[in-house]
Amino acid sequence: MDSTPAPGENIAVLRKARGLGQAKLARLAGISVSLLSKIEVGLRPATPPVVAALSKAMKVPTQRIYGQPFLGPSEQSDLLNDLRGAVRRHTLPKEDVPRPSQLAADVDKAMRLRSEARYLELLEMLPRLLDQATATALSAPGETGAWSQVADVYGCAYAAAHRLAQPDLADMIVARQSWAAHQTWNPEAEVATAWNLAGTYQSAGQYDDGLAIVDQAIVKYERMSESVTMATALSLGSLHLRGVVLASRHKDKSATADHLKMAKRYAEQIPTDVLWHNLTFGAENTALYELAAHVELGKPTQAAEMGDPLMQSPPTTLAPSRLGRMYIDIARAKLDVKDHTGAEEALTRAFKVSPQMAELHPMSREVIRVLFVLHQRARPVLLAMAKRTGLAV
């Protein structure tokens, strides 16, 4: 495998191509020269807010900085092109209507693969499944359940496109998901769509616009809800969790606290964490968002302290995709408090529970990059992780 340029390396290349010195770029991005210098050489991770600030300063998409980290580009490119074709011809499905029981089973399988972060297997089945689900819905206009299935499959497609660093495809998928959700009155499908739409702004580093999407969706759903039901708690709670991420990356402590408070309130209505319309919500997942918010708001010590008991007794109700993300956030917190052994242990667990997420996630790769630069080949496990993410050969 060829080594893949890391964000810090990409930042240096883009900066030089634009004739910018470190001092000028740091000033434009609102960060210190010391931080920028350390990011470029791999001594500090390029965090999402910093990437957002640098991309704005250099007038490039955030994806130009993150690059294309996934493995097997030839195979994955073919799979992504198949998915892109299915999304493009959304009203012209090439598949026949399958048996309802088979379609339901396949949709459930796709959502399971998504929750388990098994993106390659998911990609392989998505084009055909999208065509089949759409053909079924078009043959039964006005059928809420059929269109809900289409929206759910698009939700799975969004997860794959997002994680495989395809922002333009992710944007197109969200537009199609919105189309499917609006074919009938389906407020829960609209919530899932809004959650993904806000995610596209999050990926682009446009946190304030993402927060506006979340706030609009919350207001709209609250107007339609006469009482707090399980569906209400799941929908509004999930939207508030998205708000926690966006607000914390936007460094808005007040908005972060408000969204977290509401998420915890709705989590009290859920006996145990639930995966529903590709959204996970409950008390355990809310705690993971709180941990991540501490990191984003510059409180790594609190995040690391939250992470210690989670490392000892991991949540039992959460899917591998959520556990993998938890370990990545703990690793980042441990790195920030200079607990390099703890960071490596958290990353090792991320690779064990959710290998594809650990290989692809930008923060996983950034923490590995910094640890690798600091320790080079002194730690065999770290070297193995660096090779799996394309950061070493």
Q: What is the pLDDT of residues 37-87, one digit of tens each?
A: 999 999 999 999 999 999 999 999 998 898 765 545 456 788 899 999 999
Cβ neighbors of 275 (< 8 A, separation 6 or more) are: 111, 115, 319
Last residue of a domain, one of 153, 182, 211: 182
Q: Which two tokens stand for residue 325?
A: 């993300």
**pLDDT tens digits for 356-389?**
999 989 999 999 999 988 886 668 888 888 888 8
Residue whose C-alpha is closest to residue 256's, from 305, 281, 292: 292
Indicate whether 201 and 219 sit together in one domain. Answer: yes
Structural domain for 351, as ranges: 304-393
Indicate whether 101 and 165 sit together in one domain. Answer: yes
Indicate whether 155 and 178 sit together in one domain. Answer: yes
Last residue of a domain, one of 157, 182, 207: 182
Share of the chain above pLDDT 70, in %: 96
Q: Which two tokens stand for residue 118?
A: 């098994």
Cβ neighbors of 251 (< 8 A, separation 6 or more) are: 49, 296, 297
Indicate whether 375 and 326 sit together in one domain. Answer: yes
Indicate whether 170 and 87 sit together in one domain. Answer: yes
Strands (E), the chain: 274-276, 279-281
Contact 270, 230 (CB under 8 A): yes
Indicate whether 58 and 83 sit together in one domain. Answer: no
Indicate whether 165 and 228 sit together in one domain. Answer: no
226: phi then psi, degrees, rounded to nearest 5: -85, -25
Query: Which pLDDT score is estimated for 68?
Result: 66
Number of domains, the chain: 4
Indicate whether 196 and 262 sit together in one domain. Answer: yes
Last residue of a domain, one of 272, 298, 324: 298
Indicate whether 291 and 191 sit together in one domain. Answer: yes
**pLDDT tens digits for 274-321?**
998 999 999 999 999 999 999 999 999 999 999 999 999 999 899 999
Indicate whether 361 and 345 sit together in one domain. Answer: yes
Mean pLDDT of the residues in the chain: 92
Indicate whether 114 and 74 sit together in one domain. Answer: yes
Residue whose C-alpha is closest to residue 196's, from 182, 178, 218: 178
Contact 77, 123 (CB under 8 A): no
Cβ neighbors of 273 (< 8 A, separation 6 or more) are: 280, 281, 282, 283, 284, 285, 315, 317, 318
pTM of the shown model:
0.92
Indicate whether 177 and 76 sit together in one domain. Answer: yes
